[in-house]
């Protein structure tokens, strides 16, 4: 979905804030990259992946997307690195890897 | 026709909440506030008040339930006291920062230890900086009036802040006094329906309570601080319109027989009425003394205070709370600080007393005034004096 580019926190002055800091627009997180504080990322081993989609189903942030080839991969702009996908994967195709190692 | 009935302050507050046609009450009983939730629960059970009464398991839950209730635009009330307010503390900040106009009565009570269910202002002073609008009542009529006024001011779209109405535990909460109750029609004229502009609604989703990283937190606090100070205009307007409808007018700072007085006593809450009797007795003896009753505590009424003490040489401030290790009672510290930059200002003398339900008589206030004059003239090595404590108190020094 196309969205207008939202101001980031550091563009706003105190006068730009809504009463009680309410965010009036729903789903505004999709206009921002919210995964930049992740410490680990899921790395997919395509050899092992059976395309079962359990990772896609269980991702709490809806950050896993189907690829054109039919695999499922995390959108790293939104993935927080929680590791649920790696834990749920029945064939251990996903390995949580330290960001620093990549 | 309004009617004059005998009510304790707790029941007067409950009656105001009923007449305000509140939607949600979430409260946990605690002495000396118990009669308020008890009476409201009774009203709901009897069908005298159509509201949701949530019997929560703690004060922390009470205020948390109030947040949710206010977030959907429901008129919301709770009440607590002493330890209950302490347990609620964390959520008290959330209510003001998220700008939810909850009304809360606090029946002021001392804090443990030692365990005391009796009155003083320690609980109120511990929530001084929580960002709520706060007023102190002198009597049961004010308990009714301020509760009604609190909904009106807090819910105003230009304000949207929670309001705390303080009245003294037992000496008001449990004491019956005549209270004038208005007609429902007058109340409805004064208090419009609550129209919360940001009510949560599945058809129009929005985010309440997003987190605040370092690049935005300071901005959120400035916006809150400016808005709280700006609420003063609506606070005054609310009292003005209250007066026009009900005939009782209120000021942020009440000056009682202060004209021409060289010495003024400043008090808060129910002690102000006792102190007025002391001022009357001394005025009869020809002494130039008067009383300042501080009604609005937050936002602090700087301008009105400066005006009220103009021309006075001595200002004796009486606190019902110790600020341990600090420069004096919390009220005296603030008053002194508020006057510090004035070119002509009175000498401020600090007294602390009436702790944990210790009574202060008219004679005691006459003593405070006389002793205050003595201290202002000759000075003292002590930062403040205790009133009515057995044994000479020394060692309260900087």
B205–A9 CB contact, under 8 Å: no
Structure tokens at B270: 């129910």
B99–A20 CB contact, under 8 Å: yes
Nearest neighbour of A21 by CB, restricted to B100, B197, B220: B220
Longest dimension (CA), chain B: 70
The CB-based long-range contact list for B359-367 (8 Å cut-off, 24+ gap) reads B360/B271, B360/B274, B360/B387, B360/B388, B361/B274, B362/B274, B362/B277, B362/B278, B362/B281, B363/B278, B364/B388, B365/B265, B365/B271, B365/B274, B365/B275, B365/B277, B365/B278, B365/B279, B365/B318, B366/B278, B366/B281, B366/B282
Q: Where are the domains of chain B?
A: 3-246, 253-386
Which chain A residue's Cα is nearest to B101? Answer: A20
Q: Tell me which of A18-32, A79-93, B325-339 is least confident.
A: A18-32
Which residues 365-394 on chain B approach chain A with CB closer than 8 angstroms? none
Considering only CB atoms, which chain B residues are within 8 Å of A12?
216, 219
Averaged confidence pLDDT in chain B: 97
- What is residue A41's three-state secondary structure? strand
What is the third-level CATH fold of B3-246?
Rossmann fold (3.40.50)
Nearest neighbour of B207 by CB, restricted to A9, A14, A22: A22
Q: Round to whole Å and give the CA distance between B313 and B206.
A: 55
Which residues 222-251 on chain B approach chain A with CB closer than 8 angstroms? 222-223, 226-227
Considering only CB atoms, which chain A residues are within 8 Å of B226?
14
The beta-strand segments (E) located in chain A are 40-44, 64-66, 72-74, 94-98
Q: What is the mean pLDDT of residues A64-88?
A: 96
Asked if residue A5 has pLDDT above 60, the reply is: no
pLDDT digits (tens, 9 = 90+) for B301-313: 999 999 999 999 9
Mutate to test the interface with B, among A8, A15, A21, A23 (most CBs of B within 10 A): A21
Q: Round to whole Å and give the CA distance between B158 and B105.
A: 22
Give the closest residue to B110 by CA, choosing from B334, B274, B354, B327.
Answer: B354
Share of chain A above pLDDT 90, in %: 74
A20–B198 CB contact, under 8 Å: yes
Q: How far is A76 from chain B (nearest CA, A)?
A: 20
Considering only CB atoms, which chain B residues are within 8 Å of A15?
223
Per-residue pLDDT, A98: 96
| Phi and psi angles of residue B347, each rounded to the nearest 5 degrees, phi first | -75, 130
Whether cis (ω within 30° of 0) applies to the bond prior to B316 is no
Report the run of H or E that residue B253 belongs to, with start and end: strand B253-256
Q: Where are the domains of chain A?
A: 33-101
pLDDT digits (tens, 9 = 90+) for B217-237: 999 999 999 999 999 999 999
pLDDT digits (tens, 9 = 90+) for B173-228: 999 999 999 999 999 999 999 999 999 999 999 999 998 989 999 999 999 999 99
Instruction: Confirm if B66 and B22 have CB atoms less than 8 A apart.
Output: no
Whether cis (ω within 30° of 0) applies to the bond prior to B299 is yes
Mutate to test the interface with A, among B206, B211, B217, B234 (most CBs of A within 10 A): B206
Which pLDDT band, with edges at 50, 70 and 90, does A34 fall under?
confident
Is the minimum CB–CB distance between B220 and chain A shorter than 8 Å? yes
Share of chain B above pLDDT 90, in %: 98
Share of chain B above pLDDT 70, in %: 100
Asked if residue A84 has pLDDT above 60, the reply is: yes
Per-residue pLDDT, A2: 45
Give the closest residue to B106 by CA, choosing from B52, B67, B146, B74.
Answer: B146
pLDDT digits (tens, 9 = 90+) for B384-398: 999 999 999 999 998
A25–B206 CB contact, under 8 Å: yes
Pairing between strand B296-298 and B133-136? Answer: antiparallel
Instruction: Confirm if B235 and B153 have CB atoms less than 8 A apart.
Output: yes
Pairing between strand B314-319 and B263-267? Answer: parallel
Asked if residue A32 has pLDDT above 90, the reply is: no
**Domains B3-246 and B253-386 fall in the same CATH topology:** yes
Averaged confidence pLDDT in chain A: 90
The second-level CATH assignment, the architecture, of A33-101 is 2-Layer Sandwich (3.30)
Asked if residue B375 has pLDDT above 50, the reply is: yes
Asked if residue B357 has pLDDT above 50, the reply is: yes
Per-residue pLDDT, A60: 96
Q: Round to whole Å and give the CA distance between B167 and B160.
A: 22
What is the third-level CATH fold of B253-386?
Rossmann fold (3.40.50)
- What is residue B266's three-state secondary structure? strand
Structure tokens at B212: 């605040």
A22–B213 CB contact, under 8 Å: no
Instruction: Confirm if B101 and B159 have CB atoms less than 8 A apart.
Output: yes
Considering only CB atoms, which chain A residues are within 8 Å of B213?
9
pLDDT digits (tens, 9 = 90+) for B159-175: 999 999 999 999 999 99
pLDDT digits (tens, 9 = 90+) for B92-133: 999 999 999 999 999 999 999 999 999 999 999 999 999 999
Q: Residue B251: is it exposed, middle or buried by C-beta count within 10 angstroms (0-12/13-18/19+)?
A: middle
Which residues have a Cβ under 8 Å from the Cβ of A43 and sit 6 or more positions away?
A94, A95, A96, A97, A102
- Tallying the residues shown for chain A, one arrives at 102
Asked if residue B335 has pLDDT above 90, the reply is: yes
A interface with B, Cβ–Cβ below 8 Å: 8-10, 12-28
Burial letters A92-101, b for 16+ CB under 10 A, else e? ebbeeeeeee
Per-residue pLDDT, A1: 41
Considering only CB atoms, which chain A residues are within 8 Å of B198?
18-20, 22, 24
Per-residue pLDDT, A3: 46
A18–B198 CB contact, under 8 Å: yes
């Amino acid at each position: 979905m196309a969205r207008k580019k939202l101001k980031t926190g550091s563009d706003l002055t105190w006068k730009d804030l809504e009463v009680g800091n309410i965010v009036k627009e729903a789903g505004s997180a999709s206009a921002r990259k919210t995964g930049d504080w992740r410490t680990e990322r899921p790395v997919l081993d395509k050899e092992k992946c059976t395309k079962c989609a359990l990772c896609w189903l269980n991702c709490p942030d809806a950050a896993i997307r189907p690829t054109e080839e039919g695999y499922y991969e995390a959108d790293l702009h939104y993935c927080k690195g929680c590791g649920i996908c790696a834990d749920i994967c029945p064939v251990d195709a996903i390995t949580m890897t330290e960001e620093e190692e990549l | 026709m309004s009617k004059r009935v005998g009510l304790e302050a707790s029941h007067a507050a409950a009656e105001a909440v009923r007449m305000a046609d509140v939607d949600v009450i979430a409260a946990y009983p605690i002495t000396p506030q118990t009669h308020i939730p008890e009476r409201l629960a009774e009203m709901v059970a009897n069908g005298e008040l159509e509201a949701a009464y949530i019997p929560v398991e703690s004060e922390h839950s009470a205020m948390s339930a109030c947040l949710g209730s206010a977030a959907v635009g429901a008129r919301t009330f709770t009440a607590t006291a002493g330890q209950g307010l302490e347990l609620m503390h964390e959520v008290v900040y959330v209510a003001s920062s998220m700008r939810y106009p909850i009304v809360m009565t606090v029946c002021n009570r001392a804090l443990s230890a030692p365990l005391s269910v009796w009155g003083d202002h320690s609980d109120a002073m511990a929530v001084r900086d929580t960002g709520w609008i706060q007023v102190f009542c002198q009597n049961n009529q004010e308990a009714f009036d301020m509760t009604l006024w609190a909904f009106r001011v807090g819910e105003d779209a230009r304000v949207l802040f929670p309001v705390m109405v303080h009245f003294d535990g037992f000496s008001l909460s449990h004491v019956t006094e005549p209270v004038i109750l208005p007609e429902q029609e007058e109340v409805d004229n004064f208090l419009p329906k609550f129209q919360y502009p940001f009510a949560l609604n599945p058809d129009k989703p929005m985010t309440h309570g997003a987190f605040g990283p370092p690049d935005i937190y300071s901005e959120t606090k400035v916006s809150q601080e400016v808005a709280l100070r700006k609420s003063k205009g609506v606070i005054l307007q609310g009292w003005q319109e209250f007066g026009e409808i009900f005939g009782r007018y209120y000021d942020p700072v009440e000056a009682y027989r202060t004209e021409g007085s060289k010495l003024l006593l400043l008090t808060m809450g129910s002690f102000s009425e006792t102190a007025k009797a002391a001022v009357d007795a001394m005025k009869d003896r020809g002494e130039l003394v008067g009383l300042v009753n501080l009604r609005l505590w937050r936002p602090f009424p700087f301008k009105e205070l400066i005006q009220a003490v103009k021309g006075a040489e001595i200002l004796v401030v009486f606190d019902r709370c110790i600020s341990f290790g600090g420069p004096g009672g919390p009220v005296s510290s603030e008053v002194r600080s508020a006057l510090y930059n004035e070119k002509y200002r009175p000498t401020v003398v600090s007294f602390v007393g009436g702790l944990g339900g210790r009574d202060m008589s008219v004679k005691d206030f006459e003593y405070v005034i006389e002793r205050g004059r003595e201290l202002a003239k000759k000075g003292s090595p002590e930062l403040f004096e205790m009133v009515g404590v057995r044994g000479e108190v020394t060692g309260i020094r900087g």
